[in-house]
Structure 1
Amino acid sequence: MSQSHTSQFALLTQRRFAPFFWTQFLGAGNDNLFKFAFTVLVTYQVQVAWLPPAVAGLAIGALFILPFLLFSATSGQLADKYDKARLIRFVKSLEIAIMAVAGIGFVTQQVAVLLLCVFLMGLHSTLFGPVKYAYLPQHLSERELTGGNGMVEMGTFVAILLGNVAGGLLIAMPGVGAQYVAWACFGLAVLGRVTAQRVPVSPATDPALQINWNPLSETLRNLRLARESVAVFRSILGISWMWFFGAVFLSQFPSFAKEVLHGNEQVASLLLVVFSVGIGIGSLLCETLSRRHVEIGLVPVGALGMSVFAIDLYFASRGLPQPAVSYTLGSFVAQPGHVRVLLDLLLLSLSAGLYSVPMYALIQMRAQASHRARIIAANNILNALFMIASAVLAGALLQAGFSVPQVFLVTGLLNALVGFYIFMLVPEYLLRFVALLVSRCIYRFKVHGDEHIPSHGAAVIAANHVSFVDAILLMAASPRPIVFIMDHRIFKIPVLGWLFKLARAIPIAPQKEDPATYERAFQEAQRVLREGDLLGIFPEGAITRDGTLQEFKGGLMKILQAQPAPVVPVALQNLWGSYFSRVEQGTAMVRPFRRGVFSRVGVVAGPAMPAETVSLDGLRERVGRLLAA
């Protein structure tokens, strides 16, 4: 990757991102300030017979989620049909009206009015959701998408945290709490409308769309659209599972703090703070770890961390001392055993950030622009359903006699099973994970010119062939999957052969040896390009035995004659002499530390060559120049 780039935080200085970021930040904060203040109000201050405190939190949460189930399909259509900046301004104007009514409800302590406003704020968030995630790919490049999503996820959880803290502090003020909450909610709504005014024009992606007002049939249609891409649909399921997983922990923090950790309300708040900080850190780390590409290899890392630290949280919670009185915040932190609990919670939520951000970015990048918002709306519906299912499962386990730590243990084990299932269904996640490990844990890996590898459309990636892991390193350098043509014998190598089969690599054999495999390889290569994907080819035909660039074979020209596509010349640098290259008596993988640990290797890509300008000698010359760069 070229190192001449700015940090993801630089987006906060640019109009295409900053007004949108602060608009969504203020909206998320206002949502949670309002909901938490209302929950405290009906739990401690205003008692109504038809809404007992024990169920107030659940009722408010369910009422807020209900619009996601009813109106997400419609909101997705609106976000595809109309300019997103106009929709954002409409939604923020609606928020002002809702908060004006909510202010009256707080001041007069009308619980029914506030419940209506909870539903309306859920509607506000439902309308904003598809716009929020469909807006980013219209204004950010593929190289900025992970960083932008990381900033949004970080901002959302920080806003949730600040909203909850502010709501609790304001409503608790004797005599004036309700009025302060009313003004705070109204003020945040107005401020959000001011920032929304600066959001730049975001043209409709499908202005001719006819709105289907039937939410059930439209939801089913959106799910069918999402299923057109296996990776997109499985990512939607993966994100929905993350919300299932997170909802279990967030919903159990109060009882976990009180019954297991023996802490007061401040300890419950500390758990929320640690969880939110972890999500924020994990979200921000995604850009650094992904080299500014959409790196879904981070998803298995996140999934593994979520399971490991959820399971360890169960063990860390066992045998904790029981004080005579509840721990205050200071006395809780002073206990050595509690440090492990907090660390598990921090790393668990950090892993959830690593898990979710690449999935959101992949959906935005791979979904067709014309119905991207509708696919995101389908994602929101599934998220809501999975959160409801998490409440049902957690409630059933607790009713069956499980303790809160045991519920965490079951959730961690379920996460491991779900992760394994998803990664086997969509091996691209696992392949990118392996590429991430090889490029970061075995070599010091540098990529230059990766902007020449197209993020959309068909192209041929033509590289020199130095080692048995060339394809894996090219995967790590590419923003999307590459289907490689590879010598059929490599598929017989343990582990590597299995990985290349998962990658849908195309085996090829010499025409004289196996004419059927030879012809089938060219037919498959043409199909890959015809479908608009990346085809990887090593024109030398075999791994070099002396480290020099060999003559290029004619197979590439045969492919281009049948299915023309741009050719991107790529050089793999400094791999000769490494463990996976042939050095001693033409063998490889015999001396693991032949060049020490973390030896420097690189991938350099050059500008694409139009198909009609490609010649074997010209391409070989370009790859040679890149090797010497």
Structure 2
Amino acid sequence: MSQFSLLTKRRFAPFFWTQALGAFNDNAFRNAMVMLVAFQMALPDAQVSLYTNLAPALFILPYFLFSATAGQIAEKFEKTRLIRYVKLFEIAAMVVAAIGFFTHHISLLLVVLFLMGMHSTMFGPIKYSILPQALERDELVGGNALVEMGTQLAMLVGMIVGNSLMLIAGYGTLAASLTTIAIAVTGYLVSRSIPAAPATAPQLKFNWNPLSETWRVLKLTHEDRAIFNAVLGISWFWFFGTVMIAQLPNYTRHVLGGDGSVNTLALTLFSIGTGVGSLLCERLSGKRVEIGLVPIGAFGLTVFAVDLFFAHPAVTAGATLGWTAFLAVPGAWRVALDLTMIGAFAGFYVVPLFAFVQSRAPRERLSRIIAGNNIVNALLICIASGFGIGLTAFGLSVPTIFLITGLINIAVAVYIFTLVPEFMMRFITWILVHSLYRVRVDGLKNVPDEGAALVVCNHVSFMDPLILMASVRRPMRFVMYYKIFNIPVLNFVFRTAKAIPIAGRNEDPAQLARAFELIDEALAAGEVVCIFPEGGLTKDGGIATFRPGVDQILARRPVPVVPLALRGMWGSIFSRRDSAMHRSRLPRRFWSKVELVGGSPLKASDANAAVLEARVSELRGDRA
């Protein structure tokens, strides 16, 4: 089922349109205000500069002041009702904005800008914590992708509309006022169709002190190392995007020789690229939370940001070109491609990170963790603004700033991926599996989302654990033959995934005993453990007799058992179908079409080696 089908579901569509309309209004109002101040009020340049630089600071300030409070509110109360209150607040803010537009009262408009910052601050924790309540686990990536696409396009359209309305001769203030109020009212009406989303922590003790609560929220966000580093990755995305977008006006004017329409074109390409990249995440990840895409996104951001430094359109000095004339200039399409691909890889980068935080964080803490994420985001946005201003003050050109930002991006990415090897482990797994196989999955929802479980599967190739790791949504602890565990490169993946090496009784009795202890500890901790009960790779494509180790595990720790079966792996790369002589050359089936299917869970009391062998054989069928 396509992710676009979510737009027809009541549990998602009203929320999607509500958040998109809010993003539109934020940007329509801000750009209308800038156009009013910069072009219609005949203010001195110094005063215009003051207001235009003050505006972003006022919008971002509420994130520091109220994010922690917003996280508590989103956790403690029913979210749909909160959304409606937030939209009513937006209507009131837009009415005040209309008064400011008509009276040309700049201070009042700056107050409204602060209020819209509050609107976004309150909506943020609700926006990302409501998705796991509304969507199935395999819809989370697609839902986040649609939200990211909708937000980017709504922001872009809002910018264009805000600019255009205020420039209507004689009626600009009226048009801007009526439009922003109408959009706010529409957002409220649409929000009334959002289904109820119960409070996730109704017993939460509310802390009214924003300073102490901010500190507590940041500590909460920091508790899980993987989540915190995902938050750092998201915040770095905002740093990178802030630096790049802030340079676009000067870049289009001084480097591309374009007018305002070229700046709009650049923003459009970036937004479209982000939307497309976000939507591709679901297809590339197989509808699962795949953080292996994050390193790909980071690499792409650097490649195309650096290429902007080397891209030099053949523009005559002092030229002021419209967007159509610019595209006719030699080298212009290279710039257009760079901007679009930066957006696309930004989608690859940020969508899996948001989905990762949503899937990994406990439901009763997610809103507060999102609030902590917003605080760190706001801090990085402010640092990005200072970074861009500082480099400009040192006399660096815009292309040079792009180059520096792209190179720093790689350093930051390597730092984050080093702190959390899981990112690189997932990246290696994703690359290997999708390079060597075409995998179709079915029935994997039988692996429980919570609680301990034992997964059993037939064993056909050295790549079996990686295929399961790349396909099953929930992290699993694999029990594998120690010689496979020690294969170079794959050893990093297996160690990072906390795989459990095992040896035969005659090879190393101590390691065998230790493996059973680790299996029991993992199951006792509520983890999923996957074993290959045949004890080795199949030598003829059939399923060998399941060894009694599975009975020993269940006797000690009775947990549900989920049978899985690999189909089509026999004869694929790294299976044993080829003779020893043939294995020295490229295997006959390099990009094999394989399947992984799951069966219904069995109670421990109903499961034993013979029963599970029969179930796996039935699932595999005739396709070895």
Q: TM-score, length-normalised on structure 1?
A: 0.96
In the TM superposition, what is the alpha-carbon distance from 1:231 to its structure 2 partner? 2.2
**Separation in 1 of the partners of 2:54 and 2:551?**
66
Q: Write the deviation string for residues 17-36 of structure 1: whole angstroms up to 9, x where unpaired.
A: 11111111111100000001
Q: Which residue of 1 aligns with 2:614?
A: 621
Listed as ranges, the gaps of 5+ residues in structure 2 are none
The answer as to whether partners of 1:579 and 1:588 remain within 8 angstroms in 2 is no
SS of the aligned residue for 2:594 comes to strand
SS of the aligned residue for 1:336 comes to coil
The answer to whether structure 1 residue 573 and structure 2 residue 567 are counterparts is yes
Task: Label 1:220 to 1:554 Cα distance change in 2 as closer, same or farther (>3 A).
Answer: farther
Matches within 5 A, 1:469-488: 469-488=463-482
In the TM superposition, what is the alpha-carbon distance from 1:608 to its structure 2 partner? 1.5
The answer to whether structure 1 residue 520 and structure 2 residue 514 are counterparts is yes
How many residues matched?
A: 622
Q: Which residue of 1 aligns with 2:105?
A: 110
In the TM superposition, what is the alpha-carbon distance from 1:467 to its structure 2 partner? 0.8
The answer as to whether partners of 2:429 and 2:493 remain within 8 angstroms in 1 is no
**Separation in 2 of the partners of 1:584 and 1:158?**
52
The answer as to whether partners of 1:581 and 1:588 remain within 8 angstroms in 2 is no
Matches within 5 A, 1:76-475: 76-317=71-312, 320-475=314-469
Q: Which residue of 2 aligns with 1:26?
A: 21
**Separation in 2 of the partners of 1:587 and 1:367?**
50
**Separation in 2 of the partners of 1:536 and 1:333?**
55
Q: Write the deviation string for residues 171-218 of structure 1: whole angstroms up to 9, x where unpaired.
A: 111221112111111111111111111111111111111111222221
Task: Label 1:340 to 1:591 Cα distance change in 2 as closer, same or farther (>3 A).
Answer: same
In the TM superposition, what is the alpha-carbon distance from 1:314 to its structure 2 partner? 1.3
Task: Label 1:543 to 1:593 Cα distance change in 2 as closer, same or farther (>3 A).
Answer: closer
The answer as to whether partners of 1:427 and 1:503 remain within 8 angstroms in 2 is no
Counterpart of 1:599 (choices 592, 608, 623) is 592
The answer as to whether partners of 2:139 and 2:287 remain within 8 angstroms in 1 is yes
Task: Label 1:75 to 1:588 Cα distance change in 2 as closer, same or farther (>3 A).
Answer: farther
**Separation in 1 of the partners of 2:230 and 2:271?**
22
The answer as to whether partners of 2:436 and 2:573 remain within 8 angstroms in 1 is no
Task: Label 1:593 to 1:320 Cα distance change in 2 as closer, same or farther (>3 A).
Answer: farther
**Separation in 2 of the partners of 1:451 and 1:283?**
24
Listed as ranges, the gaps of 5+ residues in structure 1 are 1-5
The answer as to whether partners of 2:571 and 2:578 remain within 8 angstroms in 1 is no
In the TM superposition, what is the alpha-carbon distance from 1:554 to its structure 2 partner? 2.1
Q: Write the deviation string for residues 568-621 of structure 1: whole angstroms up to 9, x where unpaired.
A: 1111112122221123456895322422x4221121111111222211000000
The answer to whether structure 1 residue 590 and structure 2 residue 579 are counterparts is no
**Separation in 1 of the partners of 2:44 and 2:257?**
30
Instruction: Give the counterpart letter for 2:601 in structure 1.
Output: A
**Separation in 2 of the partners of 1:89 and 1:159?**
20
**Separation in 1 of the partners of 2:57 and 2:412?**
25
The answer as to whether partners of 1:461 and 1:535 remain within 8 angstroms in 2 is yes
SS of the aligned residue for 1:540 comes to coil
Counterpart of 1:534 (choices 501, 505, 528) is 528
SS of the aligned residue for 1:546 comes to coil
Task: Label 1:586 to 1:564 Cα distance change in 2 as closer, same or farther (>3 A).
Answer: farther
The sequence identity of aligned pairs, in percent, is 47
In the TM superposition, what is the alpha-carbon distance from 1:247 to its structure 2 partner? 0.8
**Separation in 1 of the partners of 2:217 and 2:532?**
40
In the TM superposition, what is the alpha-carbon distance from 1:324 to its structure 2 partner? 4.8
Which sits farther off after the overlay, 601-610 or 431-440?
431-440
**Separation in 2 of the partners of 1:312 and 1:341?**
8
Q: Which residue of 2 aligns with 1:3?
A: none
Which sits farther off after the overlay, 119-128 or 498-507?
498-507
Instruction: Give the counterpart letter for 1:207 in structure 2.
Output: P
**Separation in 2 of the partners of 1:68 and 1:606?**
47
**Separation in 2 of the partners of 1:524 and 1:571?**
24
**Separation in 2 of the partners of 1:41 and 1:420?**
44
**Separation in 1 of the partners of 2:526 and 2:308?**
46
In the TM superposition, what is the alpha-carbon distance from 1:561 to its structure 2 partner? 2.5
